[in-house]
Structure 1
């Protein structure tokens, strides 16, 4: 059965690639296409990644370019004073994006002709898909030493079209972001679906140079018709500080693969990921963090609230190489299971090659404490509101440190709508940073 499904997917992708290469052929994309075919013909690889069986059963199409105006998005995007880039149905829309600005140099290549070898990330089906089927390669460079208060960069990925139960639209993206020298940058990523079933696949490389402060937010919302796949790689140099916040809310499948590499001394990473699943959804969150230099700090916190036959899988590897003395690394995983049919699987790993380090990991999973519910009920609070207060307490540390007030408000509204019609989250006040 697995072989039949596999051949069906490979046949579809082959037809798509043969059409794609007539306009977008490059040696790099061809090389990734051949590696993709090899993986799809590897039955051992397919069996180890069970979620492929779900996507293999689907019929995929490449979406057409759709006209879109900024006024159509007023109510669904954040109100930011920033540089807006709109990625629509697989391409950057240059008509409504802020391509020409004084803070960011944005280059769009039709072909991927990069020759550099990247041995850091272990490629998978989705990275090969992005490299072989992306319609363009987007480079974003920040290198303006004489400008302070650089505006935030707002990346908006939009899928728009006619809804269909018969097929999925597939959009592939390949982006590079290079942040250079003594800059303080905020990046927002927002994923929006408008009236269609979609398969969205993004592969992003971020190069963080010396003395950079980066805050990176990601918000993904969807429903049981949407598939989201994302591979990120971060190359971090000297004396840099990265704060990363991910809010991942129900799609049919969410696959997120983060790869971090410390290639400089005295750098710091704080990463928080919150996943919310319900309605028979599946989420795969992977993290690989490699310390190669001295005196670096990393703290990764993953939380999930799971219900309604949904499954979340966490896999994390923290690798400390011989030169990475006085490393301080932490990984923590916590999950609330709201019913007996929900499931959480965690596999944390430490791979340490020197003795002068402090590293640890922790895992917690469980249900809402009935004693805490009883305590709130005795104070005259009804059952639903009591439950929402405890859910809020579980996620509050993700919200209170958000630096942008409008983004914080949007997140609270999403969480309220997700858990209940009762807007419990807006009853709480947050201390401003």
Structure 2
């Protein structure tokens, strides 16, 4: 199976290298081969590569997009929008030239990663058509900066073929406040989205970063999504990250945070939903290197049917990171007996002058609470919906934009087949 997958990737490279691949891509391809030998047998990757083994892997190609259909699926917000469609940025549809952000396409960047790379990193670097560099700096005479709205959308479907779309993005933020919204719009096509982002957040910067994976219908999707994020945080940074991920066939997200400055704070909230036989793997690694920093993480997950969510989180505090405050919390709901949630939190603390906590809760809907609500004249279905919405409501309220908040809650309610009680709360 390993040889078959590698041969597919190698042939893909040979067919397309004369168009857009660099010499570095060839090196990354051989690194990918070595990585495949070591990591293919991991349980969290078996599903993806088994799926690839039974399908013809093809490269992304330019296809006409129904713009009206796409616009209906977007959040109705005033923002600078970048559209990544079928493996590349759409220059005609995107707001590349604007006064808020400097966006360079096909920018050569020498990046030495602090973190260990996996299969998806090498896959992205070997097969990305063009790197994207986004500079977010302080601009004089502009007090309010529009959000940066990054949209991923694919519309390709052929029988017995699975298209792969790779992206490599670098985002530099310096001495400013900005909002970034990443929106992955799932369709019922068969494809792999593989995104590799590096965020470098310089001194005195503030960033709100939202990642949404949403379904435009309630059908079972056959697509895969892999998101690999690297975050380098310097001094006096406030970074708020928020994720809402609704399951594809397979979601794999790796978040690597490294604090290289003092007096920096991270607030990270996530909501994960999985149903049918889908799988979500989330791996969060956070390392504090400097003193007087703070990180607060709250992750909530809901599974139903025969779905699986795997959560791994490691909080590491090095010996020079004195007076660090770290919190790691997981809260999960199992909505039936066949679904599973596996949680593995970890603390690696190398000095004594810190404050760190971690907690895990996994349970199900309490029927005593449903009975209590029913004695007050509330129907069973509405009681069930109230308890589910109340479980996630504190996390949903962390979304500052009211339009996005209402849209997300509508999608969650549809996904879980429950009523939307936002106004009543």
**Shift in Å, 1:7:** 1.9
Matched residue, 1:19: 15
Task: Map Cα deviations across residues 408-431 of structure 1 (whole Å, 9 max, x no partner).
Answer: 1110110111112x53234435xx
**Shift in Å, 1:105:** 0.6
Task: Map Cα deviations across residues 287-343 of structure 1 (whole Å, 9 max, x no partner).
Answer: 000101110000111110001111110001111011111000011111100111111
**Shift in Å, 1:134:** 0.6
Matched residue, 1:329: 326
Q: Is 2:200 the counterpart of 1:197?
A: no
**The residue matched to 1:121 in structure 2 has which SS?**
coil
Within 1, Cα distance between the matches of 2:146 and 2:41? 45
Q: Where in structure 2 are the equivalents of 1:108-257 lying within 5 Å?
A: 108-109=105-106, 113-118=108-113, 120-146=114-140, 147-162=142-157, 164-181=158-175, 183-222=176-215, 223-257=220-254
**Shift in Å, 1:274:** 0.7
Within 1, Cα distance between the matches of 2:168 and 2:239? 21
Within 1, Cα distance between the matches of 2:313 and 2:409? 28
8 Å contact 2:186–2:221 — kept in the other structure? no
* Distance change in 2, residues 1:248/1:400 (3 Å): same
Task: Map Cα deviations across residues 253-298 of structure 1 (whole Å, 9 max, x no partner).
Answer: 1100001111110010000111001001111000000101110000
Matched residue, 2:283: 286
* TM-score, normalised by the number of residues in structure 2: 0.95
**Shift in Å, 1:130:** 0.5
| RMSD of equivalent CA atoms | 1.5
8 Å contact 2:232–2:258 — kept in the other structure? yes
Within 2, Cα distance between the matches of 1:155 and 1:30? 28
Task: Map Cα deviations across residues 90-112 of structure 1 (whole Å, 9 max, x no partner).
Answer: 10000010010001110001xx7
* TM-score, normalised by the number of residues in structure 1: 0.93
**Shift in Å, 1:228:** 0.7
Task: Map Cα deviations across residues 168-216 of structure 1 (whole Å, 9 max, x no partner).
Answer: 22100000010111x1101100011345211111000111111111111
Within 2, Cα distance between the matches of 1:48 and 1:68? 37
Within 2, Cα distance between the matches of 1:29 and 1:136? 11
Within 2, Cα distance between the matches of 1:193 and 1:347? 28
Within 2, Cα distance between the matches of 1:309 and 1:71? 35
* Distance change in 2, residues 1:38/1:219 (3 Å): same
**Shift in Å, 1:11:** 1.5
Within 1, Cα distance between the matches of 2:236 and 2:404? 27
Within 2, Cα distance between the matches of 1:340 and 1:101? 51
**The residue matched to 1:179 in structure 2 has which SS?**
strand
Pick the aligned partner of 2:51 from 47, 57, 68: 57
8 Å contact 2:295–2:325 — kept in the other structure? yes
Q: Is 2:306 the counterpart of 1:306?
A: no
**Shift in Å, 1:75:** 1.7
Unaligned runs of 5+ in 1: none
